[in-house]
Structure 1
Amino acid sequence: MKIAVLGAGAVGLTVAAKLSRVAEVHAVARRRHADAIRERGFLLTGIWGEGTYRFSCSDDLPSAWQEADYYIITSKSTDTEAICRQFADAIKGREVVSLQNGIGNEEIIGRFTDRMIGGMIITGFEWRGDASVHVSVEAAPMKLGRYPSGTDEAVESLAALIRKAGIKAEATDSIRADIWSKTLYNCALNPLGAVMNVPYGALTDPHAWTIVTEIVKEAYRVVDAEGVSLPWKTPEAYLEYLRTRQLPATAAHHSSMLQDLSLGRRTEIDFMNGAIVTFARKHGIDAPYNSCIAELIRFRERL
């Protein structure tokens, strides 16, 4: 099995490293990471195990990888279109997996291939240096499904291979709902954790939780308008699940937006709370809390 990981940052390099033990893997990453992997290997610590992994990695896609079995895109959502354009010839008509944050990536990728597999992962990946990642938390198994719904042999085979690599993974026939579920989690915690510079566990404070609650209620009105069926029928049911299940599992995690802001990088806010606001306007729904937190992040991006 040949798997190419495109736009490989902390998530992509970690997934590539684990898969390299059970498949032939190439990752396209920043040159400094590729150089570090070539010189001393990829260093992994945390709950996914500890070790040094060596696999093919460069800042471009070699000609030998123009016909991989799967292409997994793990870039920031802001880079999805650029990644697709850069590797358009390779991914055309191929199995392409989005393992990214936010709403809208699958629709972008779908313009470049008709073999779209959606992915959802709620796991904390933190840089510890070039080509060195610590996996801190895991709230649920990875989900994979034919986008927008259904499953098939290609999806099932990839999920099985990922499990063989030591990563919890499941095939699902409702991946669109799973992606919206993860986006709900990200909208509730990611930007607020970034603005307040606290780990997720601190957001159970009553003052912070009031903001989380309103963000989720607005998002649910959008979800209902979009006809997406989530596992939790009401915002109150999801908030209870978030408070009792997801937050304890990720309490020590620091927001990916916080990491982006600290490095002076553009965040994925337009694919999270910003996307909620866009859909809300489409349906004539008010979303002031999501709009406010999105504007605060955009302000921080300009500092």
Structure 2
Amino acid sequence: MTDGRPRIGVIGAGAVGCYVGGRLAAGAVADVTLVGRQWLADAVVDHGMTLRELDHDDFVAAKDIRFGVDMQALSSCDVVLCCVKSGDTANTAAQLAGILRPGAIVVSLQNGLRNGDTLRVHLPQNPVVDAIVDFNVIMRDHAVFQRTTSGPLTVETKSEPQHQVWVDALRAAGLEVVEVDAIEAEQWTKLLVNLNNAINALAGVPTREMILCRPYRSVVAMLLDEGLDVLEEAGVRTAKFRGVPLRVMSFILKLPTPIVRLVIAAQLRMDPEARTSMAQDLERRRLTEVDFLNGEIVSLAESNSRDAPLNRRIVELIHEAERAGEGSPNLDAKALLQRIRPQQAPAVTDG
């Protein structure tokens, strides 16, 4: 603790990590250290950090936050928020094992299901907490981190007093935090919702535009239905998403656009420029997390001797785009339907 404040670090400080770390620094509720890429560290030194909310901006001066590229900077932290891509978790955890002090808490703010378990394998002396980021952040030039959707941080409940300190800090920083006793069902729900990330990446359009296009929604609903079928056959339980059962969500996605527009307005605040993290990864020519999202559905299906052909095809299309290295292929809805179901592409019109 520093001056009574927890020392909170962020490893893999990108869009989400910088936003959450920036909120903690802006509220002066924690002593914050960010560790990420050199170009981003340079941008923060040059410009400070702008945290763009849905209705206002906050600013963190460079002097009020530490941003480095060496994990050693996290050695004195009480809590470390892990925000690296899922494919980097094992390597990151192995390095942190020689840096973090025993007892330092590690919180996984990552997509996918298995990051917490991977962290526990490599960090046996550190309590690991699973959490879910239920909002979207995009990174703009000059160290601007723009939150583009509403939603909470969902955190696995822990009874030990040291855990409440960092949860309280997040709340004091203005972040909504929901604590749940059993997070696995919530993680599966977030994964199913995130199946749309790949569609957004392949379409190359803002998330809101995608959701308000009925043909795109039909593809998202197909992936969701297939995922739910796979989970039900495997006996995996899911939670509601913002109070809505996922089967009901799939039904809503298939409704005419004017109805969907009303539902979105009631359930979710969304910036018109919002894009998923996978779309941002393709645009930056980085490997995506598709294997840890749609690929997880494929793997679960295979473990039960069945197939998930739609999600499997989406994984293939994303990998094709990664190898091409040209950003999004900008597939319109008709082209996308033809790619995933060439013999059975339904004629879905907008409206």
TM-score (norm 1): 0.89
- Counting only pairs closer than 5 Å after superposition, residues 1-303 of structure 1 correspond to structure 2 as 1-20=6-25, 21-47=28-54, 49-53=56-60, 54-62=64-72, 65-91=74-100, 93-114=103-124, 115-138=127-150, 140-146=151-157, 152-187=160-195, 189-201=196-208, 202-224=210-232, 225-231=234-240, 235-240=246-251, 244-245=263-264, 248-250=268-270, 252=272, 253-303=274-324
Letter in 2 for 1:2: R
Letter in 1 for 2:87: T
| Rg (Cα) greater in structure | 2
1:130 CA drift (Å): 4.3
Segments of structure 1 that go 5 or more residues without pairing to the other structure are: none
User: 1:79 and 1:203 mapped to 2: Cα distance?
Assistant: 30
Give per-residue Cα distances to partners, 1:159-180, cap 9 Å, x unaligned: 2210100111122112222222
CA distance change for structure 1 residues 33 and 251 in 2, over 3 Å: closer, same or farther? Answer: closer
User: 2:285 is paired with a residue of what secondary structure?
Assistant: coil
User: 1:69 and 1:172 mapped to 2: Cα distance?
Assistant: 22
Segments of structure 2 that go 5 or more residues without pairing to the other structure are: 1-5, 254-259, 325-351
Give per-residue Cα distances to partners, 1:135-171, cap 9 Å, x unaligned: 1212x2111115xxx6543443322210100111122
CA distance change for structure 1 residues 251 and 126 in 2, over 3 Å: closer, same or farther? Answer: closer
Letter in 2 for 1:6: I
Aligned residues: 297
User: 1:103 and 1:154 mapped to 2: Cα distance?
Assistant: 25
Give per-residue Cα distances to partners, 1:206-231, cap 9 Å, x unaligned: 32222222211221133331533423
Give per-residue Cα distances to partners, 1:75-119, cap 9 Å, x unaligned: 121221221122122346431100011222112112123411111
Q: Is the 8 A contact 1:276 1:290 kept in 2?
A: yes
Q: Is the 8 A contact 2:149 2:268 kept in 1?
A: no
User: 1:25 is paired with a residue of what secondary structure?
Assistant: strand
CA distance change for structure 1 residues 14 and 248 in 2, over 3 Å: closer, same or farther? Answer: closer
User: 1:226 and 1:48 mapped to 2: Cα distance?
Assistant: 42
Q: Is the 8 A contact 2:225 2:250 kept in 1?
A: no
User: 2:70 is paired with a residue of what secondary structure?
Assistant: coil
1:251 CA drift (Å): 6.8
Identity %, equivalent residues: 28
**Please, which moves more after superposition, 271-280 or 49-58?**
49-58
Q: Is the 8 A contact 2:110 2:132 kept in 1?
A: yes
Give per-residue Cα distances to partners, 1:171-219, cap 9 Å, x unaligned: 21122222221111111x2101111112223234332222222211221
1:288 CA drift (Å): 0.9
CA distance change for structure 1 residues 251 and 134 in 2, over 3 Å: closer, same or farther? Answer: closer
